[in-house]
Structure 1
Amino acid sequence: MTRLRYSFDEARVQRFIAEGRGAGMGASYLPWLQIQDVPSSGRSHRPFGVKSKRVHHLLSDGEWKCFLKLEADTQVEEIREQFPMDRFETFRLAQKLGLRHPRTLDGTPYVMTLDFLVTIRMPGGQRLVPYTFKYDPETLSPREQELMDITRAFWHSHAMELQLIDQGFFDEPFNLNYDSVRGYYDISQFAFIEVVDVSGLVQGLLQEVLAQSEASLAKSCRMLAGSFHTTPNVVYQIAMHLVARGSLRVDLSSPVGLELLPMHAYATTPAALEHWA
């Protein structure tokens, strides 16, 4: 039963195509593979993307941690996971390389997927970057190396260089810190929005940063809460919103809790000040 559940035949491929798998952009994108379609190598994850406004399908802890690092990058505009490559193109490339292409149970070309196709905002416009994640690239089996060679050739044919990332791409303190702030990316539905001077609190926080205060973020939140007749928790949530949006920059790899860091550990930009003016 398990083998049949995760096996692919041509009928299943055609059903995925009809469902729109691998198509769309932003909130409408549907990954080719979803967590119920394949056995995961480790724990699978279904986080709601704060930028994409949709559920992402990540098949392992490693993919989840890479996703956090990519989503936190302010230049990253979109992350499309489990992105399908044209199977007839990968089949031709495999033949050219003298490699065996994966096949369905019916013998037709299997749809190979990329871990992440990332849209990055550049000064001259947008750029697509293909990423593949491997826990330890040095221990790939010969077959795994062949499949990566096909994938690399596919993206090279589209004038893109495949980026191989491993466990060195992320670190645990970063994962913990960013995962704690990403939920504050959009605070428009938070209860305090209608009753608190959010703009005034934002300016107060930014001024504390510009003053290079020695006070911790927690202490600054208590001080501003008293001035604006609200609670320190509300001020902290607004501060985390600024971090999630990139208006406040801080080393998310810090092993010290963000609330304990002094305000001079944070930084802002003239653009952020102008935006929140």
Structure 2
Amino acid sequence: MGKRNTTWDSKKIEQWIKEGRGQGEGKEYKPWLTIQDFPSMGRVTRVFGWTTQRIHHFFSDTQLKYFYLLDWEEKVIDIREHYPLIDLEVVLNDTTDLKIDKFEDKKTKEPYIITTTFLITLLDSDGKKSFAARSIKYASELSRRSTIEKLEIERRYWEAQGINWGIVTNKDINTVRAKNIEWIHSVMGFGSDNSFSEDELADLLYALLYRFIDSQKSIKNIISGFERDYTLDAGMGLFLFKRLIAEKRISLDMDRPININQTCKSIYIPEVNGKEVNEGVKVFG
């Protein structure tokens, strides 16, 4: 395998722009940074997004957890990670006091392209779009001068465009909620289950859903009984249960750990009870 080229210069910027990085929306968006760009970044993740129907790239657990919160929210219609501020000096007429020259390659003296962790598109009940930009950091990073200076550049950039910007740290994230979403997240990915046709899967989901109505049994017992009655492979019942949650055909308190040993009293079924559960957007602070 050839050695990864880590040189940062004008040619690489031109190349990345030509590749479409930092451009597009939804499924067509390409993040400015990917996990393949760096030889070692510790814990990194690639995950398929429900909202965008594409692969996302993350460089920390905090970024990943915040992504799960975004991907769960129905009002979020696009999530663009590692969004580049390519037009920084155009948007900000005066950057003399921002110390942008500190963020450059030591060898080539080429300025790095500053990025914001997330640019989020929201759609309200009236069909109106709005945007929010969020910089994800560990709380311990906020005492570093270089971090503070970079965040100030981001703040001014988004303020100049009238876009809501904020900092989110690991202390701000609802970890229980993020873990619950992570637990069910894989069931909505492409090719998550090829054992059944779409019609067969729909029938199984419907059949399992109605087993929870007015039942006094535990969730686990219902799942086990369903697998036995339908001669399903072990684990398929749990997959279907997760799928029902992911499709929001079953509502649980996502701010408490999901426990399948609980009885069905912890479950709310919107399509049976006749109304939706509106939790509201909880992730923007």
Q: Flag whether TM exceeds 0.5 (same fold).
A: yes
The Cα of 1:7 is off from its aligned counterpart by 4.4
Deviation string 1:67-104 (CA, Å, 9 cap, x unpaired) is 22222223322211111112323663533xx1111335
Partners in 1 of 2:40 and 2:118 — Cα distance?
Answer: 16
Task: Report the equivalent of 1:243.
Answer: 245
Q: Helix, strand or coil for the counterpart of 2:99?
A: coil
- Answering whether residue 90 of structure 2 is matched by residue 92 of structure 1, we say no
Task: Report the equivalent of 2:165.
Answer: 162
Deviation string 1:10-51 (CA, Å, 9 cap, x unpaired) is 121111111111112222211111123246654111222233
Q: 2:222 aligns with which of 197, 220, 223?
A: 220
Partners in 1 of 2:89 and 2:198 — Cα distance?
Answer: 57
Task: Report the equivalent of 1:203.
Answer: 206
Q: Helix, strand or coil for the counterpart of 2:55?
A: coil
> TM-score, normalized by length of structure 1?
0.81
Partners in 1 of 2:225 and 2:183 — Cα distance?
Answer: 23
The Cα of 1:237 is off from its aligned counterpart by 1.7
Map 1:174-213 onto structure 2 (within 5 A).
174-186=177-189, 190-194=193-197, 197-211=200-214, 213=215
Partners in 2 of 1:188 and 1:227 — Cα distance?
Answer: 25
Aligned-pair identity in percent equals 23
State the Cα RMSD in Å: 3.2
Q: Do 2:27 and 2:53's aligned partners in 1 also have CA atoms closer than 8 Å?
A: yes
Partners in 2 of 1:140 and 1:272 — Cα distance?
Answer: 50
The Cα of 1:171 is off from its aligned counterpart by 4.7
Q: Which amino acid aligns with 1:245?
A: E
The Cα of 1:151 is off from its aligned counterpart by 0.4
Give the 3 Å change call, closer, same or farther, for CA 273–242 of structure 1 in structure 2.
farther
Q: Helix, strand or coil for the counterpart of 2:95?
A: helix
Residues 147-156 or 45-54, more deviating: 45-54
Gaps of 5+ in 1: none
Q: Which amino acid aligns with 2:143?
A: L
Q: Which amino acid aligns with 1:269?
A: P
Task: Report the equivalent of 1:266.
Answer: 267
The Cα of 1:232 is off from its aligned counterpart by 6.4
Residues 183-192 or 161-170, more deviating: 183-192
Q: Do 1:74 and 1:246's aligned partners in 2 also have CA atoms closer than 8 Å?
A: no
Deviation string 1:135-167 (CA, Å, 9 cap, x unpaired) is 106743223112111101111112112121111
Task: Report the equivalent of 1:26.
Answer: 26
Task: Report the equivalent of 1:111.
Answer: 113
> TM-score, normalized by length of structure 2?
0.79
Q: Which amino acid aligns with 1:27?
A: K
Q: Helix, strand or coil for the counterpart of 1:146?
A: helix
Higher helix share: 1
Partners in 2 of 1:263 and 1:7 — Cα distance?
Answer: 57
Give the 3 Å change call, closer, same or farther, for CA 153–230 of structure 1 in structure 2.
same
Task: Report the equivalent of 1:135.
Answer: 138
Give the 3 Å change call, closer, same or farther, for CA 263–23 of structure 1 in structure 2.
same
